[in-house]
Structure 1
Amino acid sequence: MRRRLAPAALLLPLALLLTACGGNSAASAGGDTDGSGSLTLNVGDQKGGSEAILRAAGELKNLDYKIKWSTFTSGPPLLEAVNAGAVDIGGVGNTPPVFAAGAGSKISVVAAWHGTSKGDTILVPNDSKLTKPADLKGKSVAVAQGSSAHYQLVASLRKAGLSPSDIKVKYLQPADALAAFTSGKVDAWAVWDPYTSQVLKAEQGRVLTTGDGVTNGLTFQVAAPKALADKKKTAAVKDYLERLRRAYTWVYDHEQEWAEVWAKDTGLPEDVALAAVKRTYTTRIEVAVDKPLIASEQEIADTFTQLKLIPRKVDFADFTDPRFNGDLPPSTTTPRPSEGS
């Protein structure tokens, strides 16, 4: 690969990370309670993520604690905030925990969802002559480094008999990648929903390939070990995860209602939000953090270690905490079918 960054550079410095936060609140480390003594759970989120689902499902009512939301552009900077203690728990894709583990971050995967990977795509312009992943050889591809799309790109290249050194990787966060893609500065863009749906609905590009059958389709809630060492915070995390579980169950039967809330929150057109809901989000089923899941993530870690993008061998099991599994189905459970758009 033409451009390799040191492990510390894989995650944004905390100062930059905090200035990038949005949502209802800042991502300050704050402390465990507010001035009134009420417990505050600091939650990291991404565009159209947990907060949107919980609000749409009515699961943000009657809380015994306060939630302080911070919104991040992708998983890697969110996990840097978890490592720094600015965030107690947050949602990310399947690859950011691997990079965070490789950097020695203090994180614990506490919950997992399994869905299809049809929303994880490599997009090309409508007039592109590229028709299959093998055609990417020598081409420039935008991707957020350390994101789930990063592994999807690597795995898609490997399936086509290529490696990252065969292409020109451009590490860009989604907003910059979208600008580069639509202006013709890159030949392709590896990304996830809702960005996939945004491009397709706007007819700004087409799908070259998806991650379906290539990646494991896992998404995670990742917590700070320090928060899990606190009994009150652990109880809040448990309640938060139970609310997320109910919210996802609600979404399965209320796609339109959630899409409307999501569109309002993110500024996405409603048809884009609904397309992403159908293609990606309603396929997800919560599964246990178990041995097959750990083995699947270990494969991702080993892949990036071999590419020398992670500097050392990672034992992914050391970065998981199965205490919240309960009676959840195994991680090998088949996800719900995607309706697409």
Structure 2
Amino acid sequence: MKKNIWSSAALFSAALFFIIVLTGCDQNGSTSADSNKDITINIGVQGATGVLPYAREKKVFEEAFEEKGVKVVWNEFASGPPHFEALASGRLDFGATGGTPLIAGQSGNVDFKAIAVTSDGKRGNSIVIPKGSQIKDLKDLKGKKIAVAKGSSAYNFLYMALDQAGLTDDEIDVVQLQPDEARPALDNGSVDAWSTWEPYATTAVFQTEAKSLADGEDLNINAPSFLVARTDFTEEHEDLTVLFLQTYEKVLQEFIDHPDEVAQDIAGFKNLDVEIVTTVLEKSNLILSPTTEEFAEAHQEQADFLYKSGGINQKLDTSEVIENKFVDEALKSSQ
């Protein structure tokens, strides 16, 4: 792939670095106050069907942290990259994103830790085509307009998929759109395909009879998703970081033990068809795990591809941002 295909992602990394220079001293998130009553934790959330969106509706984190005198504030984002802008400026303490935003954040010198893996990501990203499309395989994307959110996990997935198909950057037309812009563009024919993540892919399939051209499982592309945390917060409040993970695990257990009830709840909260929610949850393979050797290797492969493709301007050692001690403690204490 030619290096200019990733010029926008490289600019994204540069923008993150610029944010740090401007706002590195502006820590308006949680404080280092001696008393928990002075602490607010800011949690990022995106999408409709994951553990954090469900927990927000159920106020599980509010209940858990209220006992510690800590206030919980939710911050909603359309995709992963804005999480890292907020982490860089101190406006966010915890969030959940795919792996590509982590790589861009690390390249941009954002001070954060990847504190747990939340999915293996094998079926988390898909390239979707509209009903009636003549596109049959990845090679048919040549000359087509493809919507994708820049810097997202679906962005890297798209280029890894194109690389497998032997397509170069000048053979496709990438249109950078957030999900709320990309879905209408797919529906009205403004774009020929859409690289996106769940629940958007499944929602498009169910609501418009769109088709999934390929996902990570089809292409053997593993892209773990992570919980991330602002490093200063984890260092100042190790106990609250563990509590965050314990609370996440508690909610996740509801997904595992009562999947039908959880799907019904989410469908009601978000006005979605319960069949859509059930399918998304089945594809998501939600977990809470340390970053094992397998996950670490998959994440490093993503970073290496970005470097080779020109998306980042330095070769990264992604293990530098991985921190397993908090999730190890959380899982040990929950047994």
TM-score of Structure 1 vs Structure 2, range by shorter chain: 0.7 to 0.9
Query: Residues 3 and 210 of structure 1: is their aligned pair in 2 closer, same or farther, counting only changes over 3 Å?
Result: closer
Aligned to 1:241: 245
The whole-number CA distance in structure 2 between the counterparts of 1:126 and 1:227 is 47
8 Å contact from structure 1 (residues 120, 152) kept in 2: yes
Return the TM-score normalized by structure 1: 0.82
**SS state at 2:99 partner:** coil
Question: Which one-letter code corresponds to 2:39 in the other structure?
Answer: L
Identity of aligned residues (%): 26
Aligned to 1:301: 303
Q: How far does residue 306 in structure 1 lie from its aligned partner after superposition? A: 1.4
Map residues 212-251 of structure 1 onto 2, 5 A cutoff. Answer: 212=217, 213-230=219-236, 233-251=237-255
Give CA-to-partner distance per residue, 1:118-169, whole Å, 9 cap, x none.
Answer: 3421001111111111111221111111111112212222222224443211
Map residues 1-341 of structure 1 onto 2, 5 A cutoff. Answer: 1=4, 4-5=7-8, 7-10=10-13, 29-32=28-31, 37-48=37-48, 49-54=50-55, 59-60=60-61, 61-63=63-65, 64=68, 65-115=70-120, 117-212=122-217, 213-230=219-236, 233-280=237-284, 283-326=285-328
Query: Residues 163 and 284 of structure 1: is their aligned pair in 2 closer, same or farther, counting only changes over 3 Å?
Result: farther
8 Å contact from structure 1 (residues 134, 160) kept in 2: yes
The whole-number CA distance in structure 2 between the counterparts of 1:36 and 1:105 is 26
**SS state at 1:127 partner:** coil
After superposing the two structures, state which structure 1 stretch, 311-320 or 71-80, moved more.
311-320
Give CA-to-partner distance per residue, 1:65-107, whole Å, 9 cap, x none.
Answer: 2211101000011121112211011000121101111222212
Q: How far does residue 214 in structure 1 lie from its aligned partner after superposition? A: 2.6
The structure whose residues are more often helix, as a share, is: 2
Query: Residues 296 and 279 of structure 1: is their aligned pair in 2 closer, same or farther, counting only changes over 3 Å?
Result: closer
**Unaligned residue ranges in structure 2 (runs of 5+):** 20-26
**Unaligned residue ranges in structure 1 (runs of 5+):** 17-27, 330-341
8 Å contact from structure 1 (residues 56, 258) kept in 2: no
Q: How far does residue 116 in structure 1 lie from its aligned partner after superposition? A: 5.3
The whole-number CA distance in structure 2 between the counterparts of 1:262 and 1:11 is 37
Query: Residues 56 and 73 of structure 1: is their aligned pair in 2 closer, same or farther, counting only changes over 3 Å?
Result: closer
Return the TM-score normalized by structure 2: 0.84
Q: CA RMSD in A?
A: 2.8
Alignment size in residue pairs: 313
The whole-number CA distance in structure 1 between the counterparts of 2:247 and 2:14 is 29
Give runs of ≥4 in structure 1 deviating > 4 Å. 10-14, 55-58
Give CA-to-partner distance per residue, 1:152-193, whole Å, 9 cap, x none.
Answer: 212222222224443211111111111211111111000111
Question: Which one-letter code corresponds to 1:37 in the other structure?
Answer: K
8 Å contact from structure 1 (residues 289, 325) kept in 2: no
8 Å contact from structure 1 (residues 53, 248) kept in 2: no
